[in-house]
A and B are shown apart, each in its own frame.
Chain A
Amino acid sequence: MKRTILGSVAALALSAGALWAENVAVITPYLAQPGTQAYVEGFQAQAAKSGWTVNVIDTAGDVAAVIARIEDAVTQKVNAIVINVDPAQVAAGLQVAKDAGIPVIGMDAGSDPLLATNVTSNGYAMAAETSVYVANRIGGKGNVVMFVFDAFPPVQARGVIADAVFANHPDIKVLDRVTPDVQDGGIADSRAKMEAILAANPEPGSIAAVWAAWDQPALGALQAIEAAGRQGEGIVITGIDANPQAREAIAAGGNFEASVAQDFAGIGAAAADAAGRVMKGETIKEPVIYVSTVMVTAVNAAQ
């Protein structure tokens, strides 16, 4: 008898615990990537403050397994699901969650009507930061080489903003709008393209700046300028993303002067805030929530 009472008390405590603690599944195929790890750590830190149980599930690159794990999380009746994967590819799972009334939050996932919201960085804002930096540094005057990639929508958006900023300065001329071949990662071909542009414009001062929509072409352009021995002409280079190689180049104090870093941990924390809001029953109006980015120059590149 005593045992049954104890047993039922324990069962009660267990089920009550399950009722009180919010249960959240974070599902991604990309946990091995440094950015994703930072998102997840930011999310966990924020979730720990609220006392949630967080189950981080890495499917090691397998996108179909993300759908399977979303289904399992729905079966398990978690309170919310957070994904870091292209929502279009896991739509089958998102539909299951929607049918079960379980909210799904995107953590830099891309926006989708099946998501409660998506938390990410504002690509337009990042491009505005670096293109305005370029325009200011060259005094609103001179020839600019742009490296863009219009086939990939998030990068295309960056190019549009830089186009507008440079067009707004009557004395800035866009010398070339280059789309590098990115098969090898983008550095090598950008370097080759930049070498050709340098050869075509041999006069010192004929190129005032290189604006790149992401870091790899900026690094390629830097290599080309240094290889041509023209690093002394004051050509200003900017990138976007502030990857470790770019930070190193910026810290070295050469032509590569600035980039913009996404706040990965901040995105994770903001995703946790969003999850908290939807779990309280709020409908988030914005399909995308933007987290501020940080300009990286020689001053803070080493941080």
Chain B
Amino acid sequence: MNFRSFSTALRQWGTFLGLLAIVVFFAWRLPETFPTAQNFLNISQQISMLAVAAFTMTIVMVMNDFDLSVGSTASLAGIVAAVLFAAGQPVWVGVTAALAVGVLGGVFNGFLVAYIGILPFIATLGTLTMFSGAAFMISDGKTIFGRDIPTEFAGFARFGIPLDAIGLEGAKLPLMTLAAVVVLLMVWLLLEQTTFGRRLYAIGGNRVAAELAGINTRRLRLMAFGLTGLGAAVAGLMYASRVASANPTQGAGLMLDAIAAVFLGMTMGREGEPRVLATLVGVLILGILDNGLTQMNVDSYVREILIGAIVVSAVAISAFGQRRG
């Protein structure tokens, strides 16, 4: 293996090796509590909301676009569902309406970006504020909780499939984890196995060339943003179920972490392009760091600095590698 192919391999696998190193480090420092089935199941549930937002964020990032409004969309979706629950509507009505709001918000983003021609950064920064304002308006700025939230809805985040059959006595595979896995599969199929996905990558590679090749880039971008909005709404509903309440700002943290996860994953792409399985690696890094550092009693603020530093250095190493490779 010559130096060049070695450095390419290191670049592509560096982030994955980083994930392994983190897992090994925590397993070494916390042998009793970290490498246990229950802890890994906990982590899978803890990252499920971020995972859904990040997987669907990958769809627009494939086209070199991104969506800053996913956090507000998630908050708004939770609020819409909770307000309908509070008004006595059944769970399916609240959930359907919330998902519809997500799709509509996403399509609106897509319309601004693809048809009006506003840069995604500016368009989705604007809609971030709009959706957040709408969430405050609909909820009167209040947290909706308690009896207003149906137990079936909150129960989704509490239940899981018993794993006794595979030898894990008393452990359960959380429904939240299952939901994230389903979204992962769907996004993977969409991006990797369909013409739609290949066209998105073509747009990301060279939009003008894609257009000249007869791809209707506008419609595809509109649809891609719609899917990202839908994913944000799913993440928002999962969040609301987990905390059995809805608050107009509760999804806010999802956006930066989702983008960070996709960026971490992009360091693994051959051309630095986003792949949804690589996004999963990014999400795992963020989630496992949170879990392990908490168990090691590391200060929350140090944790944040560390996570930021890891994202920046992973991307920097990748950029450096790409320039030379």
Contact = CB atoms under 8 A, between A and B. Distances in A.
Interface in A146-202: 183
A105 interface: no
B253 A71 contact: no
Contacts of B253: 60-62, 65
Select the residue from B30, B32, B146, B294 with max chain A CB neighbours within 10 A: B294
A53 interface: yes
Contacts of A23: 297
A88 B148 CA distance: 12
Interface string B222-241: 00000000000000000100
B297 A55 contact: yes
Interface stretch (B5-13, B91-99, B243-251): B243-251
Contact of B252 (A61, A68, A77, A92): A61
Interface in B251-279: 252-253
Contacts of A62: 250, 253
A69 interface: yes
Contacts of B143: 86, 89
Contacts of A63: 243, 245, 247, 250
Given A63-B250, A77-B33, A53 B297 contact: yes
Select the residue from B49, B250, B253, B297 with max chain A CB neighbours within 10 A: B297
Contacts of B295: 72-73, 75-76
A64 B291 contact: no
Interface residues of A, number: 31
A55 B304 CA distance: 15
Interface string A277-290: 00000000000000
B300 to A, nearest CB: 5
Contacts of A206: none
Contacts, number: 86
B157 interface: yes
A47 to B, nearest CB: 13
Contact of B243 (A58, A69, A75, A89): A89
Contact of A88 (B30, B141, B145): B145
B322 interface: no
A231 interface: no
A61 B291 CA distance: 17
B290 interface: yes
Contacts of B252: 61
A75 B38 contact: yes
B294 A95 contact: no
A88 B143 CA distance: 12
Contact of A64 (B146, B242, B299, B300): B242
A57 B158 CA distance: 23
B301 interface: yes
B46 interface: yes
Contacts of B242: 64, 67, 92
A115 to B, nearest CB: 16
B145 A89 contact: yes
Contact of A92 (B38, B158, B290, B294): B158
Interface of A: 23, 31, 53, 55-65, 67-69, 71-73, 75-77, 86, 88-92, 95, 183
Which 5 residue pairs across A and B have the least CB separation, nearest first? A68-B46, A72-B294, A55-B297, A76-B295, A58-B300
12 contacts: A53-B297, A57-B294, A58-B301, A61-B249, A63-B243, A64-B242, A64-B243, A65-B290, A67-B242, A72-B42, A86-B245, A92-B242
Given A23-B297, A76-B33, 7 more contacts: A55-B294, A58-B301, A60-B300, A67-B46, A71-B42, A88-B146, A90-B243
